Amino acid sequence: MTELLSNYLGGQWQTGSGAGTPLSDPVLGDELVRVDATGLDLAAGFAFAREQGGAALRALTYRQRAALLAETVKVLQANRDAYYEIATANSGTVKNDSAVDIDGGIFTLGTYAKLGDSLGDRHYLLDGEAARLGKDPLFQSQHVLVPTRGVALFINAFNFPSWGLWEKAAPALLAGVPVIVKPATATAWLTQRMVRDVVEARILPAGSLSVVCGSSAGLLDQLQPFDVVSFTGSAETAAVIRSHPAVTQRSVRVNIEADSINSAVLLPADGPDSAAFELLVKEVLREMTVKSGQKCTAIRRVFVPEAMYGQAAEAIEARLSKVTVGNPRNDAVRMGALVSRAQLRAVRDGLAELRAHAQVLHEGAQQALVDADPAVSCCIGPTLLGARDADSANVVHDTEVFGPVATLMPYRDTTHALALVRRGQGSLVASLYGSDAGALGAAAVELADSHGRVHVISPDVAQLHTGHGNVMPQSLHGGPGRAGGGEELGGLRALHFYHRRSAIQASTGVLATL
């Protein structure tokens, strides 16, 4: 029987009492390891993290906690090769896609180490200036941000087992809040290995970082009023979390990142021979193929002027036809697998639904695979669809297929294009392509209320922009409406979720001591 991965909870490694759920190689079909959380004393584990880990972290200053993050970065960098091997085996990703997850997570952690150092030797933060409460300035109000005396529970998605951990854990630990992470079962191995390496390095105080692999049953029941929970995944699961008594009765703070039907828009002033057109085509290709389209920020809808619809379809199809799909261990392969057979079925089902309302412009579902058996592997080629009547394509605006799938649609004018984008009912990101700075700026502001991030790509930043789907720690990640209504990252803004704001009303002499 394959290895049963241990959970780290209550300051000790513990194996579940059940047989475990197997994690498999999505290309070869081999069983790799098993995960199980049956029989764990969750209440004791949460209490240990809350009381021991939280107290130890809060005793440190922001600068001291930032130093711990910097030391954690060193540990992760020293073990990168092992992480890449796990990602290839368990996530089926090619090396470049593994880097997005692994190196992206380490970079985010390093960024917060630097940000935390800038906060200095403090234990709490001032929020704005003191405000006079009456005619006499002697008595004033000063808002402060203090670390919440609870635990941060992270329920993460399968597509980013490294970055999904560290983009949440970095600001939480910097804020002085202990972390318990529940990685998605299908790809939990990488998360568990990273936590194991950090724990064994004895960098963080006991109880600061815990991992529970396997079922999430009972985790939400352990949450107390000053705990927080952050979830990345489906809208259906998000609804279950929001309706849990921990949230509805104990007011546990919740951050949700859910479904997102992201868009890319070519503005009308730039024709098919323009640099902006080429930038759009290049970015659509990247977003359809990186991580096999398994990114919450991937481009799902592509909008171009009516007159350019045919040329855009031809240009994108030409690039997609060169993409090789299959075993990531083969150097000739550019795009690897979906993470599981369940995800492969979900993508095929979603494609069937979209096909009923759109034309196939590039067929990837029947594409020949390199070094992979289609009867066993979870590989599927990229598929580009087209819907000439964007106004009536309701399913396209409402359905996210979490794989290498995008739909091209034409628009009449900029007003029409932006209205179509907003049909997504709130998204994580939209990208705009053009060369007119004024038009790009105006469109970006128009979309800002319905998107967590607006990525504007003009020819002058062709070699500088970070990518439609790349989430940078300096910028906000999250989105309103369908996207979950949450906020993560955004530099030091991420720390606010893990702090409590309070107004201290006192004399100027007392406030001066703060």
Interatomic CA distance for residues 374 and 370, integer angstroms: 10
pTM value surpassing 0.85: yes
Q: What is the Cα–Cα distance from 31 to 189, expressed in whole angstroms? A: 12
- How do 262-266 and 427-433 pair as beta strands? parallel
Closest CA to 319 of 291, 286, 352, 344: 286
Task: Specify the pLDDT at position 366.
Answer: 87
Contact status, residue 98 vs residue 65, Cβ threshold 8 Å = no
Strands (E), 148-251: 152-155, 179-182, 209-211, 228-232
- What was the pLDDT predicted at 365? 87
Catalytic residue among 257, 283, 487, 488: 257
CA–CA separation, 498 and 112 (whole Å): 14
List, in sequence order, every beta strand (DSSP E) within 68-151: 125-132, 139-147
Residue among 180, 242, 261, 249 nearest 216 (CA): 180
Mapped onto helix, strand or coil, the DSSP state of residue 69 is helix
Helices (H), 176-294: 188-200, 235-242, 245-248, 275-289
200 catalytic residue (yes or no)? no
Name the token pair of 10: 């209550």
DSSP 410-460: EESSHHHHHHHHGGGSSEEEEEEE-S-HHHHHHHHHHHHTTEEEEEEE-GG
CA gap 348, 343 in Å, rounded: 9
Amino acid of residue 191: T
Compute the distance between CA of residue 298 and CA of residue 288 in angstroms, rounded to an integer: 7
Cβ–Cβ < 8 Å for 195, 181: yes
The answer to whether residues 27 and 93 touch, using CB atoms and an 8 Å cutoff, is no
- Asked if 227 and 177 count as a contact pair (C-beta separation under 8 A), the reply is no
Phi, psi of 355 (to 5 degrees): -60, -30
Tell me the backbone φ, ψ of residue 74, rounded to 5 degrees: -60, -40
Tokens of 4: 């049963």
Contact 5, 34 (CB under 8 A): yes
As given in the structure block, the two tokens for residue 467 are: 């990518």
| Residue for token pair 């080429």 | 278
Name, in order, each residue with C-beta under 8 angstroms of 18's C-beta and a sequence gap of 6 or more: 36, 38, 39, 214
Q: Are 500 and 146 in contact (CB under 8 A)?
A: yes
pLDDT at 212: 98
Asked if 228 and 148 count as a contact pair (C-beta separation under 8 A), the reply is: yes
28: closest CA among 471, 336, 270? 336
**Contact status, residue 143 vs residue 128, Cβ threshold 8 Å:** yes
Q: Give me the residue label for tokens 């970015």.
A: 283
Is residue 257 among the annotated active site residues?
yes
DSSP three-state, residue 501: strand
- For β-strands 299-305 and 359-362, DSSP reports them as unpaired
What is the C-alpha separation between 50 and 225, in angstroms, rounded? 12
Q: What domains appear along the chain, each with residue ranges and CATH number?
A: 45-258+489-512 (3.40.605.10), 262-472 (3.40.309.10)
> Which one, of 197, 208, 209, 212, lies nearest residue 14 by Cα?
212
Strand partners, 409: 303
What tokens appear for 405 in the block? 């799938």
Cα–Cα dist 67/114, whole Å: 9
SS3 2: coil
Using left for φ > 0, alpha for ψ between -120 and 50, and beta otherwise, residue 62 falls in alpha
Tens-of-pLDDT digits for all 514 residues of the chain? 689 999 999 999 999 999 999 999 999 999 999 999 999 999 999 999 999 999 999 999 999 999 999 999 999 999 999 999 999 999 999 999 999 999 999 999 999 999 999 999 999 999 999 999 999 999 999 999 999 999 999 999 999 999 999 999 999 999 999 999 999 999 999 999 999 999 999 999 999 999 999 988 999 999 999 999 999 999 999 999 999 999 999 999 999 999 899 999 999 999 999 999 999 999 999 999 999 999 999 999 999 999 999 999 999 999 999 999 999 999 999 999 999 999 999 999 999 999 999 999 999 988 999 999 999 999 999 999 999 999 999 999 999 999 999 999 999 999 999 999 999 999 999 999 999 999 999 999 999 999 999 999 999 999 999 999 999 999 999 999 999 999 999 999 999 999 999 999 999 999 999 9
Q: Which helix (H) or strand (E) segment is 65 a member of?
A: helix 62-78
Measured in degrees and rounded to the nearest 5, phi and psi for residue 458 equal -120, 160
Q: Which of 167, 283, 287, 296 is catalytic?
A: 296
